[in-house]
Amino acid sequence: MTLLEVKDLRKYYAIRRGLLQRRVGEVRAVDGVSFQIARGETLSLVGESGCGKTTVSRCIMRALDATSGEIRFAPGDAPPVDLVTLPRSRLRSVRRHMQMIFQDPHASLNPRMTVGDIIAEPLLVNNVGTAADRRDRVLQLLELVKLPRAAYSRFPHAFSGGQRQRVGIARALALDPKLIVADEPVSALDVSVQAQIVNLLLELQDRLGLSYLFVAHDLSVVKHMSDRVAVMYVGRIVEVAPTRRLFSKPRHPYTEALLSAVPKPDPRLRSERIVLQGEVADPADPPPGCAFHPRCPYAVDRCRVEVPELIETGDGHMARCHRVQELTLSGVG
Amino acid sequence: MSGALLSVQDLVVHFHQDEGILRALEGVSFEVHRGRTLGLVGESGCGKSVTARSILRIVDRPGRIVSGRINLDGRRGEPPIDLTALPANSRRMRAIRGGRIGLVFQEPMTSLSVNYTVGNQIAEVVREHQGLSRAAAHARAIELLRDVGIPRPERRVDEYPFQLSGGLRQRVMIAVALAGDPDILIADEPTTALDVTTQAQILNLMRRLQREKNLALILITHDMGVIAEMADEVAVMYLGRIVERGPVDQIFHAPRHPYTRLLLRSIPSVLAEPRTPLATISGSVPHPYQRPSGCPFHPRCPDHIPATCEAAMPAETATADGGCVRCYAAEHT
Amino acid sequence: MSVTVLTAEERISHATQLQLTWWRFRKHKVALVSGVIILLFYLVVVLADFLATSDPHATDARRSFIPPQAIHLFDDGKFRPHVYGLKGIRDPRTFRLRYAPDPERKLPIRFLGRGYDYNLLGLIPTNIHLFSVEDAGPVDGIFLLGTDQLGRDLWSRLIVATRISLSIGLAGVGVSLVLGVLLGGISGLYGGTVDTIIQRLIELLRSVPTIPLWMGLAASLPADWSVLQVYFAITLIISLIGWTDLARVVRGRFMALRTEDFILAAELAGASRGRIIFRHMLPSFFSHIIAATSLALPAMIISETSLSFLGLGLRPPAISWGILLQDAQSVQSLALAPWLLCSAVPVIVAILAFNFLGDGLRDAADPYG
C-alpha cells in the first residue's frame, strides 16, 4: 500500500537581478519528480550535490513550499492529503506522522536543552499524555535507540556524534510516525559509528514498520539501506529500480558512471573506471535535450535535442534515456 | 628499508591546553618512497592530520613536537635534514614547505585566497621556490593548470577561486602544491568534500601526476575505498598511534590488528547484499583526554586479553612483509 | 535523594548553558576582576548617600578649595582614626586664604555617625553615614578628596555623581535593549518589507553624526524642566543611537538561527511559533545580548559624560561625572585645585571595567562555539 506518492513535483527559484529585483530567469532545483513509497519500504534518493535531492525532502516536510505538483500522503486509513496544498493550520496533525533525521547531529539538537527535553518536545507540543507519561515514553525511546537511561538529564554536548544521532532518531520516533525522512543521516559520522547507525535504522524499520525516504550521496550506505533507489541528476530522476537491479544492471549511463566511480574497498578490484568528463550541468542553465548528454559517453544526436522520458523496462525498473533499450551497461556486485 | 625519501621516527606531538595535555601523536614512525603512495587512514582524532602538519611544521599552537625525528633526504647527495630541528619559520623550512613537500587540503576554498587570481597564487609559489621572472612564472602557472587538467588554462589563469567549481578548485590546489616542484605531496582528505564522480577525476589526476613526476604521495583519508584504490602501503592509526602498517593487499586481505579487521568489516560496500546489517565496533572513539590505559583500543577490542592489554602499550612488532603491528593478540596468532 | 559525588565528566554532562558559560568566564581573570569592580560601583550607586560624608549640594564660602585630607589611623599607638583640623593661612604675597592641617587639633572619625538627612535606598529616612567627624566646626570636616570652589565636598559629590551617571547608562541601555530586541527581532523573524524598512531606518539614524544630533536634541529641551525630566530626556536621547547596534545583533542571530537544523526540527515536531522563539531561539543568543549590553554601557556613560561636559546634558544642580569634569575644566581650578581632576578616575575605571567584562562575557557566551 502506498504511503507517499509524489507526482510531478517542481521547485523553481527565481533569479532576480538589479535594483528592482527583476526576474531574469529561474533555477529548476526540482523539475518534475515523481515516485512512491510503500508502507515499510525504504526508497533512497541519490545524486551528487545540487541534484535536488535535499530540496525534494524539504518539500515533502513542507520546510519548503513546492512550486507545483502533488505530494499525497496517507498515514492512516483516511484518504490521502496533498501536502503541497494543505493549509498550514492542518499541517501539524499530518506532520506527526512524518519526521526527519538530520545530517549534522551537532546542529540538529538544541544545545540548551537536556536530552530528555529534546526527545519529549514533540510529545509536549502535541499535548501527548501527562508529564509522567512523557517521561516514561522518553525512557522507552532511549532504550529503543540503545542509549543509557542516564542520558535523560544530560546535555547534548556530553555525547559523541553517534550518540547524538541516536538522540535525533529517538526524537523523530517520539510521535510514532509512519514515514521518516533521513537526510544524509550517517555522512557526518566516523566509519565505525556509521555502521552502528545504519544497523539501528534497519532494526527500527523491522520493529516499527517504518517507511524511510533516505537521502544520500554515498552509494555504499544506500546499498545497505534501501529496497529501491532513485538516482537524480540536475533536478530530475534519471533512474529508479529495486536496489539489487540498479546496482548490478544499471540502465542509465549516469548510474553506470556513478557506480564505477565509487571506490571499492578492495585493492584487488582496482580497474579502469569510467571517469566522467566535465562538470554537473548548471540547473539555472541546463543543456538542451538530455541534461546528461555533454558528459555521456553514449550520447547520440537525438540526446542533444530531445528531453527523454522515464521509460519502464520491466520489474519496476525505469530509466530516463533514449537508448535504454540498446545499451548494455555494467554494474557492480 | 633504505632509500626512503622521508622517514618519520617516533614522532610525539602534544597540545598543552587548559584542560590538560592532549596527546595527539604518541610515537609515530613510517617511511615514504619515491613514486609510492602511503595511505594514512583512521577515524577522527586518530592524529592523521596532525602527522601531516608536523611534517610541514605547521602544527597549530599550542601543539608542539615533543620528540622524534622527521628526516628528509637531501637533494643531489646532500645529507638528510631533520625537520624537527629546523625552526618552523626559518628560511630553510619555508623552502622545504611548498618546495620539497607540497600540500593539498580538504577544502580548497579556505586554503586559496579569495583576493588573488588563480594564476597569481600559483605564480607566487613558482617565484618563491624557483626564482623565475614574473612573465616566466605566469607561463609556468598556465602550464601547471594544463598539467592538472583544467580546460582552457589561458583563460582560467585570470579567474578567482570563487568562479570555479569544487572540482576545479581542488585541481588548482593541486597545481599550487606542485608549483614548487616538490618530491613529496601530502594530500589531507583531498576528495572528502567532493562528489563521487569528481572524486574519481581527482584521484585519477593524482595517480597520473605521481607517475609523471615520480612523486612520493602521503594520502590521508578516512575512506577505506580511496585507500584501496590509491595506496601502495597503508598505515592504520588509532588515537595517536599507528596500530598496523603494511602493503595494501595485506591490510585489506590479511589484517593483523583487530581494529583494522573490524574497521574493514564495518564499512558499507557497494559490493554487499542490499539490506544487510554491518559488523560494528562497539562504543565510539574515546575523547583524546580520556585515553584508555595500555592499548587504547582495548575497551572496544573483541580479542582483548584481560590484564595484559590495559597494562601497557604493546610494542611495534615488525612483520615479514616490511610492515608492523602493535597488538598482543596479533603476536599470539 | 541520596547525595552523590559527581566526577568531573559527570559534572560537565549535566552542566547547563549558564554553568558552562560561568566556567569559561571564570578563566578570564581580567574580566572577573572587572566584574567585581563593577559590582562595587553599583554598590556605590545603591548606597551613595550612606557613603557620602557631607551634603553634596551644601555650599560654604569658607570651605572653598580645601585640599584632600589625610586620615591618621593611630593616636598614641592606639587605633583611633582621626583627621587633623584645619587652620587658615593667608598667603603673604597673594593674600589668598589657604588651608593647612593643624596637628594640634585631632578630629576623631566616627563610624556610622550622624550627618545630613537623606532617604536610604530612597525609602528609609535617616541621617546615618558610614563615617563622619565629631564636633565639626564651620570649616572642620572630613574632606577625603578636598572641596571645590563653592566649598562642596568632592568625595560626596563624586559618590552621588556615580549614582546618576551609572544609572543613566543603565536606563539608556534598558531602553536600547527593549527597542533593539523588539525591532531586531521583528526584522530578523519576518524579513521582507518590514526588515527592509527597519534596516533603512537604522542606516538613516546611524548616518547622522551623533554629537550634532545630540546637541540639537539636547538644546531643544525646555530650560525650565526639572532635573528629573532632563534626566529622562537625556536617557532617551542617548539610547536613540544605541538600540541600532543591538537590533543588528539580534536580527543577525535570528537570521542565522532560522536556518539551524534544531529550529527546523522543532518546527517539524509541531512547536508553535512562540515556543520556537522563546524556547529555542532566544536562549541561544541571550548570552550574546548580555555581552552586547555590557559593551554598550560604557558608550552610554561616555555619551552622558560628554553631553554634560559640553553643558548640553544634565545641568547643575544635578551632579554627574560630566558636570564634575566641567567644574575641573577651567585653568584656574586646575592651577589652584588639581584634586578636582580626581573625577576623571572613576570614569576611566568604569569604562575600562565594562569593556573588559563585556569582552569576557562575549568570549564565554558561546561555550559550544
Interface of C with A in 63-82 (CB under 8 A): none
Separation of alpha carbons A297 and A292, rounded Å: 10
ipTM (interface pTM): 0.86
List CB contacts (< 8 A) between C279 and chain A. Answer: 113
For residue B228, what is the nearest residue in chain A, using CA coordinates? A267
Where does chain C have alpha helices with state H? 8-13, 17-26, 29-46, 48-51, 154-190, 192-207, 210-219, 227-258, 261-269, 273-275, 282-309, 321-327, 331-336, 344-365
Residue C363 — pLDDT band, cuts 50, 70, 90?
A: confident
**pLDDT above 60 (res C8):** no
Candidates B270, B271, B276, B284, partner chain A, best to mutate (most A CBs within 10 A):
B270
User: By the 8 A CB rule, do C287 and A111 touch?
Assistant: no
Task: Please count the residues of chain A.
Answer: 333
Subunit contact B264:A48, Cβ cutoff 8 A: no
List CB contacts (< 8 A) between A175 and chain C. Answer: 269
The reply to whether C71 falls in a domain is yes
Q: What percent of chain A has pLDDT over 70?
A: 99
Using the Cβ of A168 and the Cβ atoms of chain C, whether some distance falls under 8 Å is answered with yes
Same domain as C208, residue C175? yes
Chains sharing 3 or more CB pairs under 8 A with chain B: A
Query: What's the CATH class of domain B6-100+182-332?
Result: alpha beta
Residue B12: phi and psi, rounded to 5, are -125, 125
**pLDDT above 60 (res A32):** yes
Same domain as C275, residue C195? yes
Tell me the Cα Rg of chain B: 21
In this prediction, residue B2 carries a pLDDT of: 53
Across chain A, mean pLDDT equals 90
Subunit contact A155:C284, Cβ cutoff 8 A: no
**pLDDT above 90 (res A9):** yes
Across chain C, mean pLDDT equals 78
Query: What's the one-letter identity of residue A18?
Result: G
Mean pLDDT of C213-218: 76
List CB contacts (< 8 A) between C270 and chain A. Answer: 92, 95-96, 122, 125-126
The reply to whether C295 falls in a domain is yes
Higher pLDDT, B104 or C119: B104
Of the candidates C17, C271, C367, which has its C-beta nearest A121's C-beta?
C271
Q: What domain count does chain C have?
A: 2
Subunit contact C269:A125, Cβ cutoff 8 A: yes
User: By the 8 A CB rule, do A2 and A178 touch?
Assistant: no
Using the Cβ of B274 and the Cβ atoms of chain A, whether some distance falls under 8 Å is answered with yes
Subunit contact C266:A108, Cβ cutoff 8 A: no
Q: Which of A170-184, B168-182, C6-20, C225-239 has the highest mean pLDDT?
A: A170-184
In this prediction, residue B108 carries a pLDDT of: 67
Of the candidates A219, A224, A280, which has its C-beta nearest B275's C-beta?
A224
Mean pLDDT of C83-110: 74
In this prediction, residue A236 carries a pLDDT of: 94
Separation of alpha carbons C186 and B44, rounded Å: 41
The reply to whether C250 falls in a domain is yes
For residue A104, what is the nearest residue in chain C, using CA coordinates? C261
Q: How far is A130 from chain B (nearest CA, A)?
A: 34
Subunit contact A192:B43, Cβ cutoff 8 A: yes
The reply to whether C208 falls in a domain is yes
List CB contacts (< 8 A) between A102 and chain C. Answer: 261, 264-265
The reply to whether C4 falls in a domain is no
Provide the 8-state DSSP code for C302. Answer: H
Using the Cβ of B301 and the Cβ atoms of chain A, whether some distance falls under 8 Å is answered with no
Using the Cβ of B154 and the Cβ atoms of chain A, whether some distance falls under 8 Å is answered with no
Separation of alpha carbons A32 and A9, rounded Å: 5
Q: Shortest CA distance to A321 belongs to which of A310, A330, A329, A312?
A: A310
User: By the 8 A CB rule, do B64 and B14 touch?
Assistant: yes
Subunit contact B43:A268, Cβ cutoff 8 A: no
CATH assignment of the domain containing C167: 1.10.3720.10
**pLDDT above 70 (res C136):** no
**Domain extent listing, chain B:** 6-100+182-332
Express each pLDDT in B280-291 by its tens digit.
Answer: 888 878 877 778
Same domain as C190, residue C271? yes
Worst-scoring range by mean pLDDT, A71-75, A199-203, B179-183, C54-58?
A: C54-58
The reply to whether C355 falls in a domain is yes
In this prediction, residue A50 carries a pLDDT of: 83
Same domain as C229, residue C84? no
Using the Cβ of B19 and the Cβ atoms of chain A, whether some distance falls under 8 Å is answered with no
In this prediction, residue C2 carries a pLDDT of: 36
The reply to whether C10 falls in a domain is no
Residue A296 — pLDDT band, cuts 50, 70, 90?
A: very high
Q: What DSSP letter does each residue of B38-87 carry, written as one string?
A: EEEE--TTSSHHHHHHHHTT-PPTTEEEEEEEEEEPPGGGPPPEEGGGS-
Same domain as C136, residue C168? no
Same domain as C130, residue C91? yes
Interface of B with A in 96-135 (CB under 8 A): none
Worst-scoring range by mean pLDDT, A87-101, B75-89, C50-64, C162-176?
A: C50-64
Same domain as C276, residue C258? yes
Same domain as C268, residue C241? yes
Last residue of a domain, one of C120, C149, C178: C149
Range of the domain at C357: 35-43+156-365
Of the candidates B200, B223, B276, which has its C-beta nearest A224's C-beta?
B276
Same domain as C88, residue C170? no
Last residue of a domain, one of C125, C149, C173: C149
Subunit contact A199:B280, Cβ cutoff 8 A: yes
Query: DSSP 3-state assignment of B235?
Result: strand
Q: How far is C280 from chain A (nearest CA, A)?
A: 7
Subunit contact B228:A263, Cβ cutoff 8 A: yes
Phi-psi region of C192 (alpha: psi -120 to 50; beta: other; left: phi over 0): left
Using the Cβ of C6 and the Cβ atoms of chain A, whether some distance falls under 8 Å is answered with no
Residue C367 — pLDDT band, cuts 50, 70, 90?
A: low
Q: Shortest CA distance to B45 belongs to which of B223, B256, B241, B279?
A: B241
Using the Cβ of A137 and the Cβ atoms of chain C, whether some distance falls under 8 Å is answered with no
User: By the 8 A CB rule, do C100 and C93 touch?
Assistant: no
Worst-scoring range by mean pLDDT, A1-10, A270-279, C7-16?
A: C7-16
Higher pLDDT, C202 or B106: C202
Using the Cβ of B43 and the Cβ atoms of chain A, whether some distance falls under 8 Å is answered with yes
Same domain as C145, residue C108? yes
Query: What's the one-letter identity of residue B8?
Result: V
Residue C369 — pLDDT band, cuts 50, 70, 90?
A: very low
Low-confidence ranges of chain B (pLDDT < 70): 1-2, 108-109, 331-333
Q: How many CB pairs under 8 A join A and B?
A: 156
Residue C13 — pLDDT band, cuts 50, 70, 90?
A: low
Chains sharing 3 or more CB pairs under 8 A with chain A: B, C
What does pTM read for this prediction? 0.82
Candidates A54, A106, A125, partner chain C, best to mutate (most C CBs within 10 A):
A125
Q: Which of A12-26, B146-160, C338-352 has the highest mean pLDDT?
A: B146-160
Separation of alpha carbons B76 and B213, rounded Å: 17
In this prediction, residue C135 carries a pLDDT of: 57
In this prediction, residue C271 carries a pLDDT of: 87
Q: How far is C282 from chain A (nearest CA, A)?
A: 11
Residue C4 — pLDDT band, cuts 50, 70, 90?
A: very low
Same domain as C165, residue C142? no
